A and B are shown apart, each in its own frame.
Chain A
Amino acid sequence: MKVKVKQWNGVASWLWVANDENCGICRMSFNGCCPDCKVPGDDCPLVWGQCSHCFHMHCILKWLNSQQVQQQCPMCRQEWKFKE
């Protein structure tokens, strides 16, 4: 007997490779999106800081913009620098 698979339609879910489930700022799931967004994934990406904490990009930007003096990671209070 020979089985020839012509087409295999698989199903998968995508997820962020992050060390946490939820965004520390908005408390929403990383795999979802920040409160201001409608669509997850490309439209609401995650960013990592050098402190290795990560957030929804929109969340951390909002946070950084609201900081007057020094821009710190909201989790560890180190200076926030985007990880390249």
Chain B
Amino acid sequence: MSTNSLVLCRGSPEAWATVSAALVKQCNSHPIGDGFIHLPPPSVRQCVSEELAVLCTSGLGRHLESWLLNRLQTSLATAVAPEFLAGLEQPENELEERDRARVLLDAFHTLLEKLEPFIGGLETLGRWQEEGRGGLSGPGAEALRDRAFTIIRARLLFSPPAALRRRVLEFYSRTFSVHMSREGRGREGGSAEDGGPEDGGGACPGCVGPAGHCWCQEALLQLQELSDILRRLQLLEQVSSEAVTSIMHKLLEQRMEQHCRGEYERSFLVDFDEWLELVFGWLDRVFASTEEEGAAGSPQGWTPQGWTPTLGPGAAVRGSGSMLEQWRRHMHQFFCRVYVNMRIEELFSIIRDFPESKPAIEDLKFCLERTNQKQQLLTSLKSAFESRLLHPGVHTSDILTVYISAIKALRDLDPSMVILQVACQPIRKYLRTREDTVRQIVAGLTGDTDGCIDLANELSRADPVTLEMQDSEDEGGALEDWLPDPTDAVKDKTGSKRRSSDIISLLVSIYGSKEIFIDEYRTVLAHRLLHQLNYNTAREIRNVELLKLRFGESHMHYCEVMLKDVADSRRINANIREEESKAGAGPGEEPPTPPPTPLALSAMIFSSEFWPQLKEEKLELPPAVSQAMEAYTHRYEKLKAMRTLSWKPHLGSVTMDVELEDRVLTDLTVSPIHAAIILHFQDKSSWSLEELSAKLGVSKETVHRKLALWQQQGVLREEAGGQYSVLETGSSRERLERSVLLMDSDEEGDSNTTTQLEQREEKLQLFWAYIQAMLTNLESMTLDRIHSMLRMFVATGPVVTEMDVNELEAFLQRKVREHQLMVSAGVYRLPKAN
């Protein structure tokens, strides 16, 4: 005890000197960069520990720590950091890149040299603390080291100078390109690493140095060295992360831009995966060279992640591994995001090109699952649709084509159909406002147009989805595959299981009911059947059968009857022909007034209740024709008891030859009214418009229009005074060339059936009676009230469900204009006068 106190009084200044010198000097002596901390020889150690004990007993031991850290900070501030920065700031303009790399490395070398003593000292002190030598206590080596490195980081990199950042970025970019060119070559050549000395003819692709002066190898060594230094100083992440990140991001984006933009027919995932593997090889060089060190080095080696003695060297490996792993994840994520961003921009074009662009869709699907960009995709796609598709300049059939592509593409992209449903909402809404949508869809379904062949194919696809989905059966087998709706799904009344991807049902549901489509199809079918010369209905039968599978038997019933009518007509025709020939042969019966040439009349006999309403037009046919029709009717009445025929004189078609003095027009196919006109000219070669109009029972305007066809053909000529006469000798031969002509060419689209619009009009007219009755009883009603009342009471047919409030309002407004209704403040009432 007494000796101890003596030592305390006498020796504390000396002891302090010895210990502090040992701490700092000891580290000065050991060589830089070997990773070992050399312990002083035992004799010195013995001496130091004695002095240490002296210090501790005098209570100065705990100040060692703060003294050392303080010295570190002071020297950093006054000498080390300025010197380091000055080293970096060396006249860089005059230097070659190669030299600049050296400067950078040198600066870090010096930095390490200057800091090494302190770090070593701290290490020793920490060890002492841990051993509790001389009664020393403290936070331990690890904590001390942490503190020291915090100070270093704070001093050096609190605001990293621009020069440092620039140089680091340049250095890493260079080593990156060196690495990529080497690895790329190595991969192609078959050997993965160290392709040996490469000096090709031209500049080295890696370092862009002139031939023979390639410094790739050197650059890689420098990289290795720099990484080591930085790791020692625990600055690796701070210094290089930023540069590495920006390099990789830039290159990835560049590569994407070069390779993928506008290229939808190839998948890029594998491509980029390989490329990223190369990149990771470089990252490995930057970050993970510790692995060798950690595995081979002594337990005293320290790693950026912090070395813990209890875990042994394996921990270090794991540490850097996890860092690489982090980078790997980061890059994959980044790749996905960049890819998705680009494809989102291009999605409209991808959809437009769909079946060809399937690889792009699949890539996008893969990436989209990894990034959270669905919302962005939806917004962008929606606005793309709106700006590029949904404006008056685009033909309806084109919109439909894109919509169909979109359905196909998006159902691949998102099997939950949410994207499809949300993104195509604007299209559906827009299509609803186009009048010819239904017609286009039906035309597509029946394969009439060139544009939408898809639809016809879709219709004939095996295993169609019936539009009346049975809820119960749908769910049966798929219970185990059930997935909850994505959170961004639109909540609608139909529920998720109804979110259909079937193209036809989606198209049909644009209007919310299939009745409209069936009506339209009926109209198209009627038009077709009436214009067919033969009774060949094979194609129509097929279409009707296919539609039956989708729309259900009951809805297509009318169409079936129509087809049956055609078949029946053929039979009846054959029957009547036979009768005729028999009658002609038999001596007893004779036709009432045998026409000069027996008119070959055949008839399409239809069931009026099942066909769409046909336009009623008056037309007086020439006697020969009407007699033939009467005769036909007689025979029909004989064939079918108690039934008769009602002819539609304006419908049908006539095939005829017109023989003129110098020419013959053969096999003209015209409408009955054209035929009637020309037949009249056979009796009398010159007619006025009035005479013809009276004779045919058709308005002058119509006659005038129909005459145009014959004028076109050069058969008739308009003369002064509104007279038309036959042109017996052709003025020009060329007219003859056009012997085939389209029936009704002068009035395109003038269908024989009443249009959809007119039919709706009639249906609405049906409501008028109800509305009148309601208003008589209740005096006045608002629009909504009328609508809901109609819904309630007139819910017999499909008509009501199709009628929305707007349509009703338009209808009522018209009634108001026609003074059949009065409206004030949104309340409708009947006018008093009645």
Contacts and interface: CB of A to CB of B under 8 A. Distances in A.
**Chain B interface bracket (under 10, 10 to 19, 20 to 34, 35 or more):** 35 or more
Nearest to A33: B609
Contact of A32 (B610, B652, B658): B610
B678 interface: yes
Contacts of A75: none
Chain A binding surface SS class: strand
Contact of A9 (B564, B652, B681): B652
B75 interface: no
A9 to B, nearest CB: 5
Contact of B601 (A8, A32, A40): A8
B608 A31 contact: yes
B601 A10 contact: yes
A77 interface: no
B607 A11 contact: no
Contacts of A42: 640
Interface in B578-615: 597, 599-611
Given A4-B656, A5-B675, A6-B656, A12 B682 contact: no
A31 to B, nearest CB: 5
B644 A15 contact: yes
B92 interface: no
Contact of B681 (A1, A14, A18, A41): A1
B607 A7 contact: no
Contact of B656 (A3, A10, A46): A3
Interface string A10-31: 1111111110000000000101
Contact of A13 (B607, B625, B649): B607
B605 A13 contact: yes
Contacts of B609: 29, 31-32, 40
B14 interface: no
B610 A40 contact: yes
Interface string A38-78: 11111000101000000000000000000000000000000
Given A7-B602, A31-B608, A2 B648 contact: no
B645 A13 contact: yes
Interface string B529-568: 0100100000000000000000000000100110010001
B608 A7 contact: no
B557 A14 contact: no
A62 to B, nearest CB: 20
A4 B599 CA distance: 9
Contact of A11 (B557, B597, B648, B667): B648
Interface string B678-716: 110110010000000000000000000000000000010
B530 A11 contact: yes
B646 A15 contact: yes
Contacts of A4: 597, 656-659
Given A32-B610, A40-B610, A14 B636 contact: yes
B667 A6 contact: yes
Nearest to A41: B607
Contacts of A2: 658-659, 682
Contact of A1 (B642, B658, B675): B658
Nearest to B601: A8
B678 A3 contact: yes
Contacts of A31: 607-609
B425 interface: no
B23 interface: no
B651 interface: yes
B728 interface: yes
Nearest to A11: B651
A5 B605 contact: no
A15 B530 CA distance: 18
B137 interface: no
In the A-B complex, the 4 residue pairs with the smallest Cβ-Cβ separation, listed nearest first, are: A11-B651, A32-B609, A13-B608, A12-B645
14 contacts: A1-B726, A1-B728, A3-B675, A4-B658, A5-B597, A6-B657, A8-B672, A13-B611, A14-B636, A14-B640, A14-B645, A17-B642, A17-B644, A31-B609
Given A8-B675, A32-B610, 11 more contacts: A3-B679, A4-B658, A5-B655, A10-B603, A10-B652, A11-B603, A11-B647, A12-B648, A15-B608, A32-B609, A40-B561
